[in-house]
A and B are shown apart, each in its own frame.
Chain A
Amino acid sequence: MTSDTMTALLDVADIRKSYGAIKAVDGVSLTVAAGEILGVIGPNGSGKTTLFNTILGQVAPNSGRVLFEGEDITGLPSLRLARRGIGRTFQSLQVFGRLSVRDNLIAAGQEFLDTATQRLFAKPDAGLGSRADEMIALFNLGHVAKREAGRLSYGQQKLVDIAMAFMPAPRLVLLDEPCAGVNPALIEELLGLLLRLNQDQGGSFIVIEHNMDFVMRLCGRVICMAQGAVLAEGTPDQIRANKAVLEAYLGD
Chain B
Amino acid sequence: MTLPRILRWGALAIAIAALWLLPTTLKSYGIYILTLWCVYVIAGLGLNLTVGYAGQISLGQAGFLGIGAYTAALLAKLGVSYLLIVPASASLCFAIGIGLGFPALRVQHHYLAFATLGFNMLCFLVFRNEDWLTGGTFGINDIPRPVLFGYRITRAADFYQLTLVMMIALAALMALLLRSPWGRAFAALRDNPIRAESVGISTTFYTLMAFAIGAAFAGVAGALFAPLVGFIEPASFTVTNSLAMLLMVIVGGSGRFFAPAIGAVIVVLLPEWLRFAADWYLAVFGFLIVVMMVWLPGGLLSLPDRIARR
Interface residues of A (CB under 8 A from B): 56, 77-79, 82-83, 87-88, 90, 94-99, 103, 106-113, 116, 119-122, 124, 126, 150, 164-165, 167-168
User: Residue B192 contacts which of A77, A97, A122, A124 (CB distance < 8 angstroms)?
Assistant: A97
Tell me if B181 and A82 are in contact (CB < 8 A): no
A119 and B181 form a contact (CB under 8 A): yes
Most-contacted residue by chain A among B198, B199, B200 (CB, 10 A): B199
Most-contacted residue by chain A among B184, B200, B203 (CB, 10 A) = B200
Which chain B residues lie closer than 8 Å to A96 at the CB level? Answer: 187-188, 191-192, 195-196
* A120 in contact with B201 (CB, 8 Å): no
A134 to chain B, nearest CB (A): 17
Q: Indicate if B179 sits at the interface (CB-CB under 8 A).
A: yes
Contact yes or no, B185 A111, CB < 8 A: yes
Contact across chains for A124 and B205 when beta carbons are under 8 A apart: no
A95 to B193, CA, bound (A): 10
| Interface: B146 (CB within 8 A) | no
* B131 in the interface (beta carbon within 8 A): no
**B181: chain A residues within 8 A (beta carbon):** 106, 110, 113, 119-120, 122, 124, 126
Question: How many residues from B make CB contacts under 8 Å with A?
Answer: 25
Given that A96-B188, A96-B192, A98-B187 are contacting pairs, would A82 and B199 also be in contact in the complex, using a CB cutoff of 8 Å? yes
Interface residues of B in 163-195 (CB under 8 A from A): 177, 179-185, 187-188, 190-192, 194-195
Given A111-B185, A116-B205, A121-B180, also A167-B199 (CB < 8 A): yes
Chain B residue numbers with a CB within 8 Å of A98 are: 187, 190-191, 255
Contacts of B202 in A (CB 8 A): 79, 111
Given contacts A95-B195, A110-B184, A165-B199, could you give 20 more A-B pairs where the C-beta distance is less than 8 Å? A79-B197, A79-B203, A82-B197, A87-B199, A88-B198, A96-B187, A96-B195, A98-B187, A98-B255, A107-B184, A107-B199, A107-B201, A109-B199, A110-B185, A111-B200, A111-B202, A120-B177, A124-B181, A124-B183, A164-B199
Instruction: Give Cα A79–Cα B197 distance, bound, in whole angstroms.
Output: 5
Assembly CA distance A106 to B199 (angstroms): 10
A99 in contact with B184 (CB, 8 Å): yes
Contact B195 A90 (CB under 8 A): yes
Q: Chain B residues near A121 (CB, 8 Å)?
A: 180
CB pair B194 A94 closer than 8 Å: yes
> Is A124 touching B179 in the complex (CB atoms < 8 A)?
yes
Q: How far is the CA of A113 from the CA of B190 in the complex (A)?
A: 21
Partner of B200, one of A56, A79, A106: A79
